[in-house]
Amino acid sequence: MNVSATLNAFRLLRTPSLCLPHATISTFNDLPVPLSNAFGNVKADIRAVVLDKDNCFAVPKENVVYKPYMDKFNSLLTHYPPPHLLIVSNSAGTSSSDAFGTDASSLSSATGIPVLRHSTKKPGCGPQILQHFLTAPGSRVTSADQIAVIGDRLFTDVMLANLMGSWSIWVKDGVVETRNPFVSWERKLPERLMRYGLKAPLPGSML
């Protein structure tokens, strides 16, 4: 159970725009690199990237890049080499699902990218992510609005970005088709909320 997501879901009752993305793409292959071009007419100063794993750039439960996405993945890695690229998963690297770090080590070895070890799952691990980028040797990050979060879930990845005061890119369709009714409902939520004039919070405004 993701206690962090459950607790933070109550924030949506007060601020439903927390689950709205700043940009939406169909699959990882549609990612515009560099990411400063992802947000329409707004030129964001993106210096670092948080990358979700399952159904973002990898088949769920697999610790390798989905082969059709390899070129795009390498392009992202070229533009944002470590320490400016970090994988944050709610499976690999979490103390509850990956207590010994086996999956995190396997994923990092396969991708060449560090995997955050965290006890609090998304969307509640923002402070750990920000601390990583602010203190990593060679990092050029000085504020949360220089970070973009890429992922396929609104209530974890997108909400994480908005709670951090960062930019979010929602991968709407992912690697595999979902049969989860909650995920199917979740994917329809942004359109419904935007009908009421709601927009994603301005990066930096939630700090």
Q: Which amino acid is at 175?
A: V
Reported as a single tens digit per residue, the pLDDT across 70-94 is: 999 999 999 999 999 999 999 999 9
Determine contact, residues 30/76, Cβ cutoff 8 Å. no
Reported as a single tens digit per residue, the pLDDT across 115-141 is: 999 999 999 999 999 999 999 999 999
Q: How many C-alpha atoms does 137 have within 13 Å on its Cβ side?
A: 0
- Between CA 197 and CA 35 the distance in angstroms is 25
Mean pLDDT, range 17-43, rounded to an integer: 95
- Pairing of β 147-151 and β 85-87: unpaired
- Between CA 5 and CA 13 the distance in angstroms is 13
Nearest-10 Cα torsion for 68, 72, 76, 79:
150
Cis peptide before 34 (omega within 30 of 0): yes
Q: What end-to-end distance do the CA atoms of the chain give, in Å?
A: 26
In terms of Cβ atoms closer than 10 Å to its own Cβ (0-12, 13-18, 19+), residue 189 is middle
> Residue 205 pLDDT more than 60?
no
pLDDT of the residue at 206: 44
- Between CA 42 and CA 90 the distance in angstroms is 30
pLDDT of the residue at 6: 62
